[in-house]
Structure 1
Amino acid sequence: MAFQAGVLNIGGFMACHRFVSHVTGFATFFGYELTQPHGSAFGMLATPLFFLLGAMLSGYLVDIRLKLHKKPKYYISFGLIFFLITAVLIGGVGGYFGTFGEPFGASRDYALLMMLCLSCGIQNGTITTVSKSVVRTTHLTGITTDLGIGLMRFLNRHSLGDNYNDETKPNLMRIGIIFFFGLGSVVGGFAFSKFNYFGFAIPVLTSGILFALMLYFQVFRRPATA
Protein backbone atom coordinates (compact mmCIF):
# COMPACT_ATOMS: atom_id res chain seq x y z
CA MET A 1 0.00 0.00 0.00
CA ALA A 2 2.89 2.38 0.73
CA PHE A 3 4.39 1.51 -2.66
CA GLN A 4 1.06 2.30 -4.32
CA ALA A 5 0.80 5.61 -2.46
CA GLY A 6 4.30 6.55 -3.63
CA VAL A 7 3.35 5.88 -7.26
CA LEU A 8 0.11 7.87 -6.95
CA ASN A 9 1.87 10.79 -5.31
CA ILE A 10 4.54 11.12 -7.97
CA GLY A 11 1.93 10.52 -10.67
CA GLY A 12 -0.26 13.36 -9.44
CA PHE A 13 2.77 15.63 -9.14
CA MET A 14 4.09 14.89 -12.61
CA ALA A 15 0.64 15.08 -14.21
CA CYS A 16 -0.47 18.42 -12.77
CA HIS A 17 2.24 19.57 -10.33
CA ARG A 18 0.43 18.80 -7.08
CA PHE A 19 1.02 16.05 -4.53
CA VAL A 20 -2.11 14.03 -3.77
CA SER A 21 -1.42 11.59 -0.93
CA HIS A 22 -1.25 14.10 1.92
CA VAL A 23 -3.13 17.25 2.88
CA THR A 24 -0.17 19.39 4.01
CA GLY A 25 0.71 20.53 0.52
CA PHE A 26 -2.82 21.71 -0.19
CA ALA A 27 -2.86 23.79 3.00
CA THR A 28 0.39 25.41 1.85
CA PHE A 29 -0.94 26.08 -1.65
CA PHE A 30 -4.15 27.48 -0.15
CA GLY A 31 -2.15 30.08 1.76
CA TYR A 32 -0.11 30.88 -1.33
CA GLU A 33 -3.11 31.21 -3.64
CA LEU A 34 -4.78 33.62 -1.21
CA THR A 35 -1.94 36.06 -1.80
CA GLN A 36 -2.21 35.93 -5.59
CA PRO A 37 -4.42 38.39 -7.50
CA HIS A 38 -5.95 35.63 -9.62
CA GLY A 39 -5.34 32.71 -7.30
CA SER A 40 -7.45 29.58 -6.95
CA ALA A 41 -7.58 29.34 -3.17
CA PHE A 42 -11.06 27.80 -3.20
CA GLY A 43 -9.90 24.95 -5.41
CA MET A 44 -6.88 24.31 -3.18
CA LEU A 45 -9.22 24.21 -0.17
CA ALA A 46 -11.88 22.07 -1.81
CA THR A 47 -9.56 19.41 -3.24
CA PRO A 48 -8.32 17.96 0.09
CA LEU A 49 -11.93 17.67 1.18
CA PHE A 50 -12.05 14.66 -1.12
CA PHE A 51 -9.25 13.10 0.94
CA LEU A 52 -11.48 13.73 3.96
CA LEU A 53 -14.46 12.24 2.12
CA GLY A 54 -12.40 9.16 1.31
CA ALA A 55 -11.46 8.73 4.97
CA MET A 56 -15.13 9.11 5.92
CA LEU A 57 -16.16 6.45 3.40
CA SER A 58 -13.53 4.13 4.84
CA GLY A 59 -14.78 4.92 8.34
CA TYR A 60 -18.30 3.93 7.35
CA LEU A 61 -17.25 0.73 5.58
CA VAL A 62 -14.64 -0.44 8.08
CA ASP A 63 -14.32 1.46 11.37
CA ILE A 64 -18.02 1.84 12.23
CA ARG A 65 -18.76 -1.77 11.29
CA LEU A 66 -15.92 -3.01 13.52
CA LYS A 67 -17.25 -0.97 16.44
CA LEU A 68 -20.70 -2.47 15.83
CA HIS A 69 -19.11 -5.96 15.79
CA LYS A 70 -19.99 -6.42 12.14
CA LYS A 71 -17.82 -7.71 9.33
CA PRO A 72 -15.87 -4.79 7.77
CA LYS A 73 -16.34 -4.38 4.04
CA TYR A 74 -12.71 -4.24 2.98
CA TYR A 75 -13.59 -5.43 -0.50
CA ILE A 76 -15.72 -2.33 -1.11
CA SER A 77 -12.95 -0.01 0.13
CA PHE A 78 -10.35 -1.62 -2.09
CA GLY A 79 -12.86 -1.85 -4.94
CA LEU A 80 -13.49 1.90 -4.79
CA ILE A 81 -9.74 2.55 -4.90
CA PHE A 82 -9.33 0.22 -7.88
CA PHE A 83 -12.18 1.77 -9.88
CA LEU A 84 -11.11 5.35 -9.09
CA ILE A 85 -7.54 4.75 -10.26
CA THR A 86 -8.80 2.85 -13.30
CA ALA A 87 -10.99 5.85 -14.16
CA VAL A 88 -7.92 8.09 -13.85
CA LEU A 89 -5.97 5.81 -16.19
CA ILE A 90 -8.74 5.66 -18.77
CA GLY A 91 -9.44 9.39 -18.54
CA GLY A 92 -5.77 10.28 -18.86
CA VAL A 93 -5.08 7.99 -21.81
CA GLY A 94 -8.32 9.09 -23.44
CA GLY A 95 -7.31 12.75 -23.28
CA TYR A 96 -9.89 13.89 -20.73
CA PHE A 97 -7.23 15.30 -18.39
CA GLY A 98 -5.34 17.07 -21.14
CA THR A 99 -1.63 16.88 -21.88
CA PHE A 100 0.41 15.07 -19.25
CA GLY A 101 2.54 17.51 -17.29
CA GLU A 102 0.85 20.68 -18.57
CA PRO A 103 0.76 23.72 -16.23
CA PHE A 104 -1.82 23.42 -13.48
CA GLY A 105 -4.97 25.48 -13.70
CA ALA A 106 -7.66 23.86 -15.86
CA SER A 107 -10.81 22.51 -14.25
CA ARG A 108 -9.89 19.02 -15.49
CA ASP A 109 -6.77 19.20 -13.28
CA TYR A 110 -9.01 19.55 -10.24
CA ALA A 111 -11.02 16.52 -11.34
CA LEU A 112 -7.82 14.48 -11.55
CA LEU A 113 -6.65 15.68 -8.13
CA MET A 114 -10.01 15.01 -6.51
CA MET A 115 -10.16 11.44 -7.78
CA LEU A 116 -6.62 10.72 -6.61
CA CYS A 117 -7.20 12.39 -3.24
CA LEU A 118 -10.41 10.40 -2.77
CA SER A 119 -8.63 7.11 -3.42
CA CYS A 120 -5.76 8.05 -1.08
CA GLY A 121 -8.22 9.04 1.65
CA ILE A 122 -9.97 5.67 1.41
CA GLN A 123 -6.64 3.84 1.51
CA ASN A 124 -5.29 5.80 4.46
CA GLY A 125 -8.52 5.51 6.42
CA THR A 126 -8.72 1.76 5.88
CA ILE A 127 -5.12 1.03 6.89
CA THR A 128 -5.35 3.40 9.85
CA THR A 129 -8.38 1.53 11.17
CA VAL A 130 -6.89 -1.92 10.57
CA SER A 131 -3.65 -0.96 12.36
CA LYS A 132 -5.52 0.76 15.23
CA SER A 133 -4.15 4.18 14.25
CA VAL A 134 -0.55 2.94 14.22
CA VAL A 135 0.15 2.83 10.46
CA ARG A 136 -0.44 5.41 7.75
CA THR A 137 0.67 4.54 4.24
CA THR A 138 -0.02 7.66 2.18
CA HIS A 139 2.43 10.04 3.87
CA LEU A 140 5.63 9.68 5.87
CA THR A 141 5.67 12.49 8.45
CA GLY A 142 4.11 10.51 11.29
CA ILE A 143 5.91 7.29 10.39
CA THR A 144 9.29 9.07 10.32
CA THR A 145 8.55 10.68 13.70
CA ASP A 146 7.59 7.30 15.15
CA LEU A 147 10.75 5.75 13.71
CA GLY A 148 12.93 8.42 15.31
CA ILE A 149 11.32 7.87 18.69
CA GLY A 150 11.43 4.10 18.28
CA LEU A 151 15.11 4.12 17.37
CA MET A 152 15.98 6.14 20.45
CA ARG A 153 13.99 3.76 22.61
CA PHE A 154 15.85 0.83 21.06
CA LEU A 155 19.26 2.45 21.54
CA ASN A 156 18.43 3.20 25.19
CA ARG A 157 16.68 -0.09 25.90
CA HIS A 158 19.12 -1.12 28.65
CA SER A 159 18.72 2.09 30.61
CA LEU A 160 14.93 1.98 30.21
CA GLY A 161 14.75 -1.47 31.76
CA ASP A 162 11.17 -2.55 32.47
CA ASN A 163 9.85 0.61 30.81
CA TYR A 164 11.10 -0.57 27.42
CA ASN A 165 8.70 -2.25 25.02
CA ASP A 166 10.41 -4.10 22.20
CA GLU A 167 10.62 -1.69 19.26
CA THR A 168 12.37 -4.05 16.82
CA LYS A 169 9.34 -5.14 14.80
CA PRO A 170 7.63 -1.72 14.82
CA ASN A 171 10.85 -0.07 13.65
CA LEU A 172 11.29 -2.60 10.86
CA MET A 173 7.70 -2.00 9.78
CA ARG A 174 8.27 1.79 9.77
CA ILE A 175 11.47 1.39 7.76
CA GLY A 176 9.59 -0.86 5.34
CA ILE A 177 6.82 1.69 4.82
CA ILE A 178 9.31 4.50 4.19
CA PHE A 179 11.33 2.30 1.83
CA PHE A 180 8.37 1.13 -0.23
CA PHE A 181 6.86 4.63 -0.44
CA GLY A 182 10.22 5.84 -1.75
CA LEU A 183 10.46 2.85 -4.08
CA GLY A 184 7.00 3.61 -5.43
CA SER A 185 8.06 7.20 -6.07
CA VAL A 186 11.18 6.07 -7.93
CA VAL A 187 9.39 3.44 -10.00
CA GLY A 188 6.55 5.86 -10.69
CA GLY A 189 9.00 8.57 -11.67
CA PHE A 190 10.51 6.37 -14.35
CA ALA A 191 7.12 5.04 -15.49
CA PHE A 192 5.40 8.42 -15.76
CA SER A 193 8.42 10.01 -17.43
CA LYS A 194 8.34 7.39 -20.17
CA PHE A 195 4.67 6.42 -20.45
CA ASN A 196 2.82 9.51 -19.13
CA TYR A 197 -0.73 8.58 -18.06
CA PHE A 198 -0.06 4.91 -18.78
CA GLY A 199 2.03 4.99 -15.59
CA PHE A 200 -1.22 4.78 -13.63
CA ALA A 201 -1.42 1.18 -14.83
CA ILE A 202 0.94 0.33 -11.94
CA PRO A 203 -1.44 1.37 -9.13
CA VAL A 204 -4.33 -0.08 -11.13
CA LEU A 205 -2.52 -3.42 -11.01
CA THR A 206 -1.65 -3.24 -7.29
CA SER A 207 -5.10 -2.03 -6.24
CA GLY A 208 -6.72 -4.60 -8.53
CA ILE A 209 -4.79 -7.42 -6.87
CA LEU A 210 -5.79 -6.21 -3.40
CA PHE A 211 -9.41 -5.82 -4.50
CA ALA A 212 -9.47 -9.33 -5.97
CA LEU A 213 -7.96 -10.80 -2.79
CA MET A 214 -10.45 -9.02 -0.52
CA LEU A 215 -13.32 -10.02 -2.78
CA TYR A 216 -12.21 -13.65 -2.72
CA PHE A 217 -11.68 -13.90 1.03
CA GLN A 218 -14.72 -11.84 2.05
CA VAL A 219 -17.32 -12.73 -0.56
CA PHE A 220 -16.55 -15.85 -2.59
CA ARG A 221 -14.63 -17.99 -0.13
CA ARG A 222 -16.82 -20.20 2.02
CA PRO A 223 -15.73 -21.30 5.50
CA ALA A 224 -14.59 -24.89 5.68
CA THR A 225 -17.11 -27.29 7.12
CA ALA A 226 -16.22 -30.07 9.53
Structure 2
Amino acid sequence: MGLAGLAGIINAAGFHAIGHFSSHLSGTVAVLSEELAGADWGLALLAVWVTVCFIAGAAATAVLMTWQRERHLRGRYARCLIVEALLLAGIAAVDQFIAPRTQGLISLRVLLLWGGLSFLMGFQNAIVTQISHARIRTTHVTGMITDIGVALGQRVAHWRHPDWHLPSGFARSPVRMHIMTVSAFIGGGILGVFGYRGLGPAFLLLIAAALLAVGLYDLARRRE
Protein backbone atom coordinates (compact mmCIF):
# COMPACT_ATOMS: atom_id res chain seq x y z
CA MET A 1 0.00 0.00 0.00
CA GLY A 2 2.88 2.35 0.65
CA LEU A 3 4.08 1.95 -2.94
CA ALA A 4 0.54 2.55 -4.19
CA GLY A 5 0.52 5.81 -2.26
CA LEU A 6 3.91 6.67 -3.74
CA ALA A 7 2.57 6.01 -7.24
CA GLY A 8 -0.36 8.30 -6.53
CA ILE A 9 2.02 11.02 -5.37
CA ILE A 10 4.26 10.72 -8.43
CA ASN A 11 1.34 10.64 -10.86
CA ALA A 12 -0.28 13.73 -9.37
CA ALA A 13 2.98 15.67 -9.05
CA GLY A 14 3.98 14.67 -12.57
CA PHE A 15 0.67 15.88 -13.94
CA HIS A 16 1.20 19.26 -12.30
CA ALA A 17 4.74 19.39 -13.68
CA ILE A 18 4.08 18.51 -17.33
CA GLY A 19 0.33 17.99 -17.71
CA HIS A 20 0.51 14.23 -18.28
CA PHE A 21 0.09 11.11 -16.16
CA SER A 22 3.17 8.90 -16.18
CA SER A 23 1.63 5.48 -15.53
CA HIS A 24 -1.48 5.70 -17.73
CA LEU A 25 -0.13 3.45 -20.49
CA SER A 26 -3.60 2.53 -21.76
CA GLY A 27 -4.21 6.19 -22.54
CA THR A 28 -0.72 6.61 -23.97
CA VAL A 29 -1.15 3.66 -26.34
CA ALA A 30 -4.58 4.99 -27.33
CA VAL A 31 -2.97 8.36 -28.11
CA LEU A 32 -0.36 6.52 -30.19
CA SER A 33 -3.08 4.86 -32.24
CA GLU A 34 -4.91 8.16 -32.75
CA GLU A 35 -1.79 10.08 -33.77
CA LEU A 36 -0.67 7.33 -36.15
CA ALA A 37 -4.09 7.40 -37.77
CA GLY A 38 -3.88 11.19 -38.05
CA ALA A 39 -0.26 11.14 -39.25
CA ASP A 40 0.88 13.38 -36.40
CA TRP A 41 4.31 11.81 -36.19
CA GLY A 42 5.67 14.08 -33.47
CA LEU A 43 3.03 13.16 -30.92
CA ALA A 44 3.13 9.53 -32.04
CA LEU A 45 6.88 9.39 -31.40
CA LEU A 46 6.34 11.00 -27.98
CA ALA A 47 3.81 8.27 -27.11
CA VAL A 48 6.29 5.63 -28.30
CA TRP A 49 9.02 7.23 -26.17
CA VAL A 50 6.87 7.14 -23.02
CA THR A 51 5.81 3.52 -23.65
CA VAL A 52 9.39 2.40 -24.29
CA CYS A 53 10.55 4.13 -21.10
CA PHE A 54 7.91 2.29 -19.05
CA ILE A 55 8.98 -1.05 -20.57
CA ALA A 56 12.63 -0.21 -19.95
CA GLY A 57 11.89 0.53 -16.30
CA ALA A 58 10.19 -2.83 -15.83
CA ALA A 59 13.05 -4.56 -17.63
CA ALA A 60 15.60 -2.80 -15.41
CA THR A 61 13.87 -4.13 -12.31
CA ALA A 62 13.90 -7.67 -13.71
CA VAL A 63 17.62 -7.42 -14.49
CA LEU A 64 18.40 -6.00 -11.04
CA MET A 65 16.33 -8.63 -9.26
CA THR A 66 17.86 -11.47 -11.28
CA TRP A 67 21.38 -10.18 -10.66
CA GLN A 68 20.76 -10.06 -6.91
CA ARG A 69 19.06 -13.46 -6.87
CA GLU A 70 21.99 -15.10 -8.67
CA ARG A 71 24.34 -13.71 -6.04
CA HIS A 72 22.04 -14.72 -3.17
CA LEU A 73 21.95 -11.16 -1.86
CA ARG A 74 19.68 -10.24 1.02
CA GLY A 75 17.38 -7.26 0.93
CA ARG A 76 16.72 -7.43 -2.80
CA TYR A 77 13.57 -5.33 -2.64
CA ALA A 78 15.25 -2.79 -0.35
CA ARG A 79 17.94 -2.25 -2.98
CA CYS A 80 15.26 -1.71 -5.59
CA LEU A 81 13.68 0.95 -3.37
CA ILE A 82 17.06 2.66 -3.00
CA VAL A 83 17.50 2.72 -6.78
CA GLU A 84 13.96 4.09 -7.17
CA ALA A 85 14.72 6.84 -4.66
CA LEU A 86 17.85 7.85 -6.59
CA LEU A 87 15.90 7.89 -9.85
CA LEU A 88 13.23 10.10 -8.30
CA ALA A 89 15.91 12.47 -6.99
CA GLY A 90 17.32 12.73 -10.51
CA ILE A 91 13.87 13.52 -11.89
CA ALA A 92 13.43 16.21 -9.22
CA ALA A 93 16.75 17.73 -10.33
CA VAL A 94 15.60 17.79 -13.96
CA ASP A 95 12.34 19.45 -12.89
CA GLN A 96 14.26 22.03 -10.90
CA PHE A 97 16.96 23.04 -13.36
CA ILE A 98 15.40 22.64 -16.83
CA ALA A 99 13.01 25.48 -17.46
CA PRO A 100 9.77 24.73 -19.32
CA ARG A 101 9.45 25.85 -22.91
CA THR A 102 6.32 27.86 -23.46
CA GLN A 103 5.76 26.90 -27.10
CA GLY A 104 5.29 23.37 -28.39
CA LEU A 105 4.48 20.13 -26.64
CA ILE A 106 7.75 18.31 -27.27
CA SER A 107 10.63 19.89 -25.39
CA LEU A 108 13.69 18.56 -23.63
CA ARG A 109 11.95 19.04 -20.29
CA VAL A 110 8.86 17.08 -21.36
CA LEU A 111 10.97 14.31 -22.87
CA LEU A 112 13.11 13.93 -19.76
CA LEU A 113 10.37 14.33 -17.16
CA TRP A 114 7.66 12.29 -18.85
CA GLY A 115 10.11 9.61 -19.94
CA GLY A 116 11.80 9.55 -16.53
CA LEU A 117 8.54 9.32 -14.61
CA SER A 118 7.29 6.59 -16.94
CA PHE A 119 10.56 4.66 -16.45
CA LEU A 120 10.14 5.08 -12.69
CA MET A 121 6.56 3.80 -12.77
CA GLY A 122 7.59 0.78 -14.85
CA PHE A 123 10.43 0.14 -12.41
CA GLN A 124 8.13 0.31 -9.39
CA ASN A 125 5.33 -1.70 -10.99
CA ALA A 126 7.77 -4.51 -11.72
CA ILE A 127 8.97 -4.51 -8.10
CA VAL A 128 5.47 -5.11 -6.76
CA THR A 129 4.67 -7.55 -9.57
CA GLN A 130 7.57 -9.75 -8.49
CA ILE A 131 6.78 -9.38 -4.79
CA SER A 132 3.13 -10.38 -5.27
CA HIS A 133 3.74 -12.88 -8.10
CA ALA A 134 1.73 -10.70 -10.53
CA ARG A 135 -1.34 -10.43 -8.27
CA ILE A 136 -1.01 -6.73 -7.43
CA ARG A 137 -0.14 -3.59 -9.37
CA THR A 138 0.46 -0.26 -7.66
CA THR A 139 0.93 2.26 -10.47
CA HIS A 140 -2.54 1.77 -11.95
CA VAL A 141 -5.78 0.67 -10.36
CA THR A 142 -7.96 -0.51 -13.26
CA GLY A 143 -7.43 -4.19 -12.51
CA MET A 144 -8.02 -3.79 -8.78
CA ILE A 145 -11.20 -1.77 -9.30
CA THR A 146 -12.38 -4.47 -11.72
CA ASP A 147 -11.73 -7.13 -9.07
CA ILE A 148 -13.67 -5.06 -6.53
CA GLY A 149 -16.60 -4.85 -8.94
CA VAL A 150 -16.51 -8.59 -9.61
CA ALA A 151 -16.43 -9.35 -5.89
CA LEU A 152 -19.36 -7.02 -5.23
CA GLY A 153 -21.32 -8.70 -8.02
CA GLN A 154 -20.58 -12.10 -6.54
CA ARG A 155 -21.73 -10.93 -3.12
CA VAL A 156 -24.99 -9.57 -4.53
CA ALA A 157 -25.58 -12.80 -6.44
CA HIS A 158 -24.88 -14.90 -3.36
CA TRP A 159 -27.13 -12.66 -1.23
CA ARG A 160 -30.02 -13.02 -3.68
CA HIS A 161 -29.40 -16.70 -4.27
CA PRO A 162 -27.59 -18.32 -1.30
CA ASP A 163 -27.65 -21.71 -3.00
CA TRP A 164 -25.52 -20.47 -5.91
CA HIS A 165 -21.94 -21.67 -5.80
CA LEU A 166 -19.32 -18.95 -5.61
CA PRO A 167 -16.08 -19.37 -7.61
CA SER A 168 -13.18 -20.95 -5.75
CA GLY A 169 -11.21 -17.69 -6.05
CA PHE A 170 -13.81 -15.76 -4.05
CA ALA A 171 -12.23 -14.41 -0.89
CA ARG A 172 -12.81 -11.47 1.37
CA SER A 173 -9.18 -10.62 2.11
CA PRO A 174 -8.06 -9.82 -1.47
CA VAL A 175 -11.04 -7.50 -1.89
CA ARG A 176 -10.16 -5.69 1.34
CA MET A 177 -6.55 -5.43 0.20
CA HIS A 178 -7.61 -4.01 -3.19
CA ILE A 179 -9.82 -1.40 -1.52
CA MET A 180 -6.98 -0.37 0.79
CA THR A 181 -4.53 -0.19 -2.13
CA VAL A 182 -6.87 1.95 -4.24
CA SER A 183 -7.48 4.18 -1.22
CA ALA A 184 -3.72 4.56 -0.75
CA PHE A 185 -3.37 5.55 -4.42
CA ILE A 186 -6.09 8.19 -4.03
CA GLY A 187 -4.57 9.49 -0.79
CA GLY A 188 -1.15 9.67 -2.41
CA GLY A 189 -2.61 11.61 -5.31
CA ILE A 190 -4.14 14.17 -2.96
CA LEU A 191 -0.85 14.53 -1.11
CA GLY A 192 0.98 14.86 -4.43
CA VAL A 193 -1.28 17.71 -5.55
CA PHE A 194 -0.85 19.75 -2.37
CA GLY A 195 2.83 18.88 -1.99
CA TYR A 196 3.83 19.85 -5.50
CA ARG A 197 1.71 22.99 -5.43
CA GLY A 198 3.40 24.09 -2.24
CA LEU A 199 7.00 22.97 -2.75
CA GLY A 200 7.42 22.26 -6.45
CA PRO A 201 10.38 20.00 -7.39
CA ALA A 202 11.59 20.10 -3.79
CA PHE A 203 8.57 17.99 -2.88
CA LEU A 204 9.77 15.20 -5.19
CA LEU A 205 13.20 15.44 -3.59
CA LEU A 206 11.61 15.16 -0.15
CA ILE A 207 9.70 12.03 -1.22
CA ALA A 208 12.91 10.58 -2.69
CA ALA A 209 14.71 11.17 0.63
CA ALA A 210 11.94 9.43 2.56
CA LEU A 211 11.98 6.47 0.15
CA LEU A 212 15.78 6.28 0.40
CA ALA A 213 15.56 6.21 4.20
CA VAL A 214 13.04 3.36 4.09
CA GLY A 215 15.20 1.38 1.67
CA LEU A 216 18.40 1.88 3.67
CA TYR A 217 16.66 0.99 6.94
CA ASP A 218 15.19 -2.20 5.48
CA LEU A 219 18.53 -3.17 3.95
CA ALA A 220 20.39 -2.64 7.24
CA ARG A 221 17.72 -4.61 9.13
CA ARG A 222 18.02 -7.59 6.78
CA ARG A 223 21.81 -7.62 7.08
CA GLU A 224 21.68 -8.04 10.87
Contact 2:4–2:181 (8 Å) recurs in 1: yes
Residue 40 of structure 1 aligns to a residue whose secondary structure is helix
Where does residue 207 of structure 2 map in the other structure?
Answer: 203
Where does residue 105 of structure 2 map in the other structure?
Answer: 104
The answer as to 2:116 corresponding to 1:115 is: yes
RMSD (Å) for aligned C-alpha atoms = 2.7
Q: 1:131 to 1:17 in 2, by over 3 A?
A: same
User: In percent, how many aligned pairs have the same letter?
Assistant: 22
So what's the TM-score if we normalise by structure 1?
0.83
Specify the code of the residue in structure 2 equivalent to 1:15: A
Where does residue 87 of structure 1 map in the other structure?
Answer: 90
Structure 2: segments with no counterpart, 5+ residues = none
The answer as to 2:141 corresponding to 1:137 is: no
Where does residue 61 of structure 1 map in the other structure?
Answer: 64
Specify the code of the residue in structure 2 equivalent to 1:121: G
Deviation at 1:194, TM superposition (A): 2.5
Where does residue 182 of structure 1 map in the other structure?
Answer: 186
Specify the code of the residue in structure 1 equivalent to 2:126: G
Choose which of 9, 13, 18 in structure 1 pairs with 2:15.
Answer: 13
So what's the TM-score if we normalise by structure 2?
0.83
Q: 1:205 to 1:168 in 2, by over 3 A?
A: farther
Q: Figure out how many residues of one structure are paired with residues of the other and give that number.
A: 217
Q: Deviations over 1:74-115 (max 9, x none)?
A: 23311221001011122222x22x249986321221111121
The answer as to 2:25 corresponding to 1:33 is: no
Structure 1: segments with no counterpart, 5+ residues = none
* Distance (whole Å) between structure 1 residues aligned to residue 46 and residue 171 of structure 2: 42
* Distance (whole Å) between structure 2 residues aligned to residue 123 and residue 166 of structure 1: 28
Residue 42 of structure 2 aligns to a residue whose secondary structure is coil
Specify the code of the residue in structure 2 equivalent to 1:114: G
* Distance (whole Å) between structure 1 residues aligned to residue 168 and residue 41 of structure 2: 55
Specify the code of the residue in structure 1 equivalent to 2:54: F
Where does residue 76 of structure 1 map in the other structure?
Answer: 79
Contact 2:5–2:186 (8 Å) recurs in 1: yes
